[in-house]
Amino acid sequence: NTSLQANVSSLFEAKDSLHGNISSLLQANKTYQARISRLTQTDRSLQRNVSDLQQANTILETLMTLVNSSLARANTTMQTIVSSLVQTNHTLEARVSSIASLLSVTESSVQILRTNFSALNSELSSTKAQSDVLEGNLTSTWTYLRPLINNGPVYTVWGKESCPSGSERLYYGFVAGPFRTHGGGSDVQCLPRTAKYGRYADHEWGSILSKATYQMQGEDKPFSSDMTNQSIPCARCEAKGKKAVFMQPATPDCPSGWNREYHGYLMSESFNTINKPRTSYLCIIDNPGTQSETPVPTNIIRSGPQFVRAAVSCENLDRRCVDGHESSSSSGYFFSRELTCSVCSK
């Protein structure tokens, strides 16, 4: 019995030891299983890496194939370029040889040209001397012809001391005509501001000239201001480069192809002049001026011609006159209306 109890006790101890070993084995099994799980995961990861490496290897092989193909094409292209360069070099060498030959010929040509140039230079010197002589002759001819070419007809601007653009003023002064009670010439003159005399006797019974004045009173004012009893200025002008000048009455315009020097109003001696001397019809410029000196003294105002506007009478026109304002159906003239005028050149 004691022995049995000892055995039983040993068995229990062995059982306990076995339980401990089993517990250790179970624990070890869990550890191994955890390791196996980690190894399985590692294996899967390695398998994925292997797959990726295989794909990368495939891509690299494809790239190598492309690179080899590109290198082959590049090599072919380089060979073509080298061949072309070789041909170009041969061509350039041929051209250089040709240029060298041309240079040799050119040097000979230059030498010939130098010889010809020397001969031409001598001929040019001779020609220049002839040209100088010809230029002198031309200058003399032009000096003679220039006044004939540039000269033009002379006309008078009545009512201003200046000339229109394009004309040269020869002189300026004032209008003068026959003394009203002594008779004289039948026209008026544009006297210069300063007179120069020859032989003289100061005889007071000669043909007397007196300053002409404007006489525009009441409705007789075709101009913008009243210049009654003021002296009439004038200027003598040369129409440079023109051939003819004329005064056209009854219109401010010039015919086609003619240039208008100026325009204004037709005026002449007053109708109530003492002894009724005859004077010219003048084309007084529009907006005229007065003489740029002291006005005519009052006591001699009426001694010279007194200019008033000119108009037509209705007696000989093909129309009826009604209150002095009806126009002729055929002519367009109006009774007693101030007539215009123009000075034209060509």
More confident residue, 301 or 141: 141
pLDDT of residue 195: 94
Per-residue DSSP letters for 281-309? Answer: -EEEESS----SSSPPPGGGGGGS-EEEE
pLDDT at residue 305, as a whole number: 85
pTM above the 0.85 mark? no
Q: How many CA atoms lie within 13 A of 154 on its CB side?
A: 7
Strands (E) across the chain are located at 154-158, 167-178, 189-192, 209-211, 213-214, 233-239, 245-249, 259-269, 282-285, 306-309, 340-345
- 230, pLDDT greater than 50: yes
Whether 322 has a pLDDT exceeding 50, the answer reads no
In this predicted structure, the answer to whether residue 320 has a pLDDT above a threshold of 60 is no
On the question of pLDDT at 246 being above 90, the answer is: yes
pLDDT digits (tens, 9 = 90+) for 146-172: 666 678 999 999 999 999 999 999 999
Q: Going by DSSP bridges, is the β-strand pair 282-285/259-269 parallel, antiparallel, or unpaired?
A: antiparallel
Q: Report d(CA 47, CA 65) in Å as an integer.
A: 27
Q: Using 50, 70 and 90 to split pLDDT, how confident is the model at 340? A: very high
CA angle 321, 324, 326 (to 5 degrees): 55
Decide if 343 contacts 263 (C-beta within 8 A): yes
Nearest of 216, 210, 243, 247 to residue 229 by alpha carbon = 216
pLDDT at residue 131, rounded to an integer: 85
* Vertex 226 angle, CA 222 and 227, to 5°: 100
Residue pair 262/167 in contact (Cβ under 8 Å)? The answer is: no
Residues forming beta bridges with residue 239, ordered by sequence position: 167
pLDDT at 242 > cutoff 90: yes
Specify the pLDDT at position 252: 96
Neighbours of 301 (CB within 10 A): 18
- Give the rounded percent of residues in the chain with a pLDDT score beyond 90: 30
What pLDDT shows up at residue 323? Answer: 44
Q: How far apart are the C-alpha atoms of 284 and 305, rounded to whole Å?
A: 14
Mean pLDDT within 79-105: 89
What pLDDT, on the 0 to 100 scale, is given for residue 147? 63
Distance CA 118, CA 116 (A): 5
Higher pLDDT, 78 or 229: 78
Phi, psi of 110 (to 5 degrees): -60, -40
Amino acid 254: pLDDT:
97
Return the pLDDT at 126.
85
Distinct helix (H) and strand (E) counts, the chain: 1, 11
Question: Which stretch, 11-15, 189-193, 270-274, has highest mean pLDDT?
Answer: 189-193
State the average pLDDT over residues 17-23: 83
> Is residue 324 pLDDT above 80, yes or no?
no
Average pLDDT over the chain, rounded to an integer: 83
Cα dihedral: 270, 276, 279, 285 (round 10): 0
- 73, with CB counted inside 10 A (0-12, 13-18, 19+), is exposed
Q: Report the range of poorest mean pLDDT among 87-101, 172-186, 194-208, 291-305.
A: 291-305
How high is the pLDDT of residue 245?
97
Closest CA to 221 of 233, 211, 209, 230: 230
Pairing verdict, β 259-269 and 340-345: antiparallel
Per-residue pLDDT band at 261 (split at 50, 70, 90): very high
**Token digits of residue 20:** 């401990």
